[in-house]
Structure 1
Amino acid sequence: MRTTRSGMIARAFAVVVASCVLLASEVSTASAGTARYPVPFTFAANVLGAAQPYTDPPGSNDWSCRPSAAHPRPVVLVHGFASVANDAWQTYAPLLADEGYCVFALNYGVPEGTPFPLDQVGGRTPLEDSATQLAAFVGRVLTTTGAAKVDILGHSEGTQMPDYYVKRLGGAATVDKYVALAPFWRGTNAAGLATATRLAARFGYAPLVDGVLDAACAACRELLSGSDYYTALGDPVVAGVSYTSIVTRYDELAVPYTSGIEPGMHDITLQDQCPLDYADHFAILSDPVAAADVLNALDPGHPRPVPCVPVPPFLG
C-alpha cells in the first residue's frame, strides 16, 4: 500500500510524541513503583489547577511529613506574580513528593480583604511584605518538620522576593539550596516597562506612573530593572547559599533572559542542553528538561541524565 506524504508526517509525529512521553517519564526515578502522585508535564495542568481555588498542589503541605536522611531539607515552593500555589506547582509538587521530599507551597502577596476571584492573583503586595510572609511560612515549616534548613524553588517573582528574605530577614541561616526558574536577578524590562518608567521620570511623570502601578500591583514597579528594590539589595549572591539559575532563551517576561544569568551561581540555559526545548516563561513550570535540572540542583550527590525532548511554548 502506498504511503501518502500526510501519512508519513502523521506517523513521524506519533513517534516524536511517544518518545517525548517516554523520556519525560524517565525524569523521576520515583515512577518505578513508589510514585504516589501523577506528574503532568504540561502547563495545562496548572491552568486546570486555577479552577480549584483554595486547594494545595498534589503532594504539598502535608504537615505530618518528616524529612528523611536522603532528603533532610523540606522544599518550599514560591510562586510567581499573578499566581497562587495551586496554579503554579501542579508539576513540581507531586514530582518532588514522589522523590521523597517534604514539599510545602505558600500563597503570598494578596492584599488583605481581597475578594474572590482577585484573591487568586498573588504576588501584588510590596516584595518586602511578601518576604515577611515567606519568613513566617519557613519558620512554621522548620518548627513542624524539625529540619534545620529548607531549600527554595521559586519561579519568576518567586525567585526575586526570597532574595529579600535571605538578605534582610535572616533567611541566609535557614536556606541551603536556592533554585530559580525564569529569574531576573537585577530586574526585568518586559514590554519595555522599565524603559518607559525611566522616561516618565525624566519628563516629570513619575508620580503619576508610580501611582497607577502601585494601586494595581505594588510589587510590579519593584521588579523592573533599575528599581530602588534592586539598588538597595545589590549583589543577589549570599555566601553560604547554593544557587542554581535556570533560564530559557524564549522567556517573554524575564527580559532579557540573560538577566537570569549571574556570576556566583550555577547558571543553566535550557537550550544549551536541548535545542528542542522552546519553553517560555510559563512552560518552564512543566518542562521535563528543567525538572531534571531542578532535581540535580536539589540533590547534586545523585545526578541523573537530563533528557532532551520537544517542549512547545506556554502549554508545554
Structure 2
Amino acid sequence: MAGWRLSRGWAAVCAGLALALGVGHGTATAAGDPVPPAPKGILSFPLAAAGGLLHPDAPPAGADDWSCKPTREHPRPVVLLHGTWANAYDDWGLMSPYLKQLGYCVFAAEYGGAPGSPVKATAHVPDSARQIAAYVDRVLKATGAHQVDLVGHSQGGGLTPRWYLRFAGGTDPAHPESNKVHGLIGLAPSNHGTTASGLGTLTTKLGLNPTVSRLAGQAYSDQMLGSEVNTTLDRDGDTQPGVDYTVIATRFDEVVTPYTHQFLTAGPGATVKNITIQDICRADASEHLSIAYDSNAAQLVRNALDPAHAEPVSCGLTSPVLGG
C-alpha cells in the first residue's frame, strides 16, 4: 500500500517548488555514452504528494504522450502503476521523468478510484486488474508495440498486476510469445499479503477487515495476509511463463511486512530477481513511501528494464519519507 498522504497544508507551501526539482549531469559509461542519473531531491516525495492533492488526475511529468513511438533501443513502453491510497501524479514524480529522459515511452495508469479523487487504488483487486488490462491495451494500440513493461509501487507492483497477468489477459501461458507484458518490476510490492506492522494482524484476528475496508477501500482487505485474493493468486505459483519479474524491497518497509513477503519464486518459463536495496546500497534508508523516490531504486529499475546495458548503481543518500 502506498501509505499515508501528507496534509493538505503542504500543497499551498510546496506546490510551486515542485518545478525546482532538477536532474543532474550525465555520467559516462565505459563506452563513453552518457547515462542520465536518477533525479534527486530530498523533498521530492512530499512535494509530489502535495501536487497529487492539487492535480489528482494529471499524469506525472514525462508520462502519457500518446503520440510516442518506441525506439529500437527501447521497444517496449513502460506502464507505471501507483500504489494504494495514491495516484499517478504523487507516486511517479521521480520515476516518470527519469524514464522519459532515458528514452522510453512512459505511461501512468490511474485505477481503482473515482476521477477527481486523490485517493485511488482502493477498489477490489480483480476490478482494478481489469482497469489495468484496458489501459495496457490502449497503450499497445497507440504505440504499435507488441509488449509493455510494468513498473509498480506497492499494490501496483504486487498482487494487482499479478492478477492482471494471470486472470485478466496479460499473459497467454500456452503461447508466452503472445504475452502483452514482458516484465513486471515491483517497488515494495504487496505480493504475499502484509501484517501492516501488526495493524493488519490485529484487524484480521478481530474480524474488522470488512469494517476497515468500508472506510479505506476493499484493497485493504485484499492485501492482508491470508486474504481470499492472495490465496487465489498464490495457489498455482507466483509467476507466469514468459515474464521477467524484479522485486526491489527495503528492510525498513513499515507497510508491507514482513518485507520478505514481497519476494517471488520463479515458476516454469519465468525469471525472478529479488533485490533488497540495502544489499546494493548499505546506507539507503528508504522505507515503503520513499522507495518510489529513491534514486538508487530508480537505477535498479533502469537496469531491470534494460539488463543488456546495466550499469553499477551509484549509491546516494535516501531518507525515510523525504526521498533522495
The TM-score bracket by the shorter chain reads 0.7 to 0.9
How many residue pairs were aligned?
281
Rg larger in 1 or in 2? 1
Aligned-partner residue type, residue 166 of structure 1: L
1:40 CA drift (Å): 4.1
Identity %: 40
User: Equivalents in 2 of 1:312, 1:187: separation in Å?
Assistant: 25
Q: Secondary structure at the match of 2:307?
A: coil
- Residue 161 (1) aligns with residue 160 (2): yes
CA contact (8 A) 1:60 1:97 kept: yes
- Residue 282 (1) aligns with residue 289 (2): yes
Q: Quickly say closer, same or farther: Cα 1:241–1:75, change in 2 above 3 A.
A: same
Q: Quickly say closer, same or farther: Cα 1:194–1:27, change in 2 above 3 A.
A: farther
User: Equivalents in 2 of 1:84, 1:221: separation in Å?
Assistant: 19
Q: Secondary structure at the match of 1:120?
A: coil
Stretches of structure 2 that go unaligned for 5 or more consecutive residues are 1-20, 172-178, 267-271
1:183 CA drift (Å): 1.2
Aligned to 1:271: 278
- Residue 293 (1) aligns with residue 291 (2): no
Aligned to 1:141: 139
User: Equivalents in 1 of 2:152, 2:107: separation in Å?
Assistant: 12
CA contact (8 A) 2:209 2:220 kept: no
Q: Quickly say closer, same or farther: Cα 1:109–1:65, change in 2 above 3 A.
A: same
CA contact (8 A) 1:148 1:174 kept: yes
Q: Quickly say closer, same or farther: Cα 1:71–1:129, change in 2 above 3 A.
A: same
Aligned-partner residue type, residue 140 of structure 1: R
Q: Quickly say closer, same or farther: Cα 1:276–1:83, change in 2 above 3 A.
A: same
**1:135-186 CA-partner distances (Å, limit 9, x unpaired):** 0000000011000000000000101211110000110211101100001311
**1:83-124 CA-partner distances (Å, limit 9, x unpaired):** 11000101111000010100000111114xx7x5xx110011
1:195 CA drift (Å): 1.9
CA contact (8 A) 1:28 1:95 kept: no
Aligned to 1:181: 187
Aligned to 1:110: 113
Aligned to 1:223: 223
Aligned equivalent of 1:260, options 262, 283, 286: 262
1:26 CA drift (Å): 5.1
CA contact (8 A) 1:39 1:90 kept: no
Aligned-partner residue type, residue 59 of structure 1: G
User: Equivalents in 1 of 2:63, 2:253: separation in Å?
Assistant: 27
Aligned-partner residue type, residue 210 of structure 2: D
Q: Quickly say closer, same or farther: Cα 1:124–1:27, change in 2 above 3 A.
A: farther
CA contact (8 A) 2:79 2:136 kept: yes
1:33 CA drift (Å): 8.4
CA contact (8 A) 1:189 1:225 kept: yes
**1:243-271 CA-partner distances (Å, limit 9, x unpaired):** 00000011110101111122222011111
Aligned to 2:321: 314
CA contact (8 A) 2:85 2:121 kept: yes
Q: Quickly say closer, same or farther: Cα 1:212–1:287, change in 2 above 3 A.
A: closer
Moved over 6 A (4+): 32-35
User: Equivalents in 2 of 1:305, 1:212: separation in Å?
Assistant: 43
User: Equivalents in 1 of 2:189, 2:35: separation in Å?
Assistant: 32
User: Equivalents in 2 of 1:163, 1:309: separation in Å?
Assistant: 31
Aligned equivalent of 1:124, options 122, 135, 158: 122
- Residue 71 (1) aligns with residue 78 (2): no
Q: Secondary structure at the match of 2:220?
A: helix
The structure with the largest helix share of the pair is: 1
Q: Quickly say closer, same or farther: Cα 1:261–1:28, change in 2 above 3 A.
A: farther
Q: What is the TM-score of this pair, normalised by structure 2?
A: 0.81
Q: Quickly say closer, same or farther: Cα 1:312–1:230, change in 2 above 3 A.
A: same
CA contact (8 A) 1:179 1:243 kept: yes
Q: Quickly say closer, same or farther: Cα 1:26–1:189, change in 2 above 3 A.
A: farther
Aligned-partner residue type, residue 200 of structure 2: A
CA contact (8 A) 2:39 2:295 kept: no
User: Equivalents in 1 of 2:258, 2:209: separation in Å?
Assistant: 23
1:27 CA drift (Å): 7.5
Q: Quickly say closer, same or farther: Cα 1:26–1:278, change in 2 above 3 A.
A: farther
Q: Quickly say closer, same or farther: Cα 1:224–1:25, change in 2 above 3 A.
A: farther
CA contact (8 A) 1:125 1:217 kept: yes
Q: Secondary structure at the match of 2:318?
A: coil
Residues 201-212 of structure 1 aligned to structure 2 (within 5 Å): 206=207, 209-212=209-212
Q: Quickly say closer, same or farther: Cα 1:102–1:197, change in 2 above 3 A.
A: same
Q: Secondary structure at the match of 2:275?
A: strand
CA contact (8 A) 1:40 1:90 kept: no
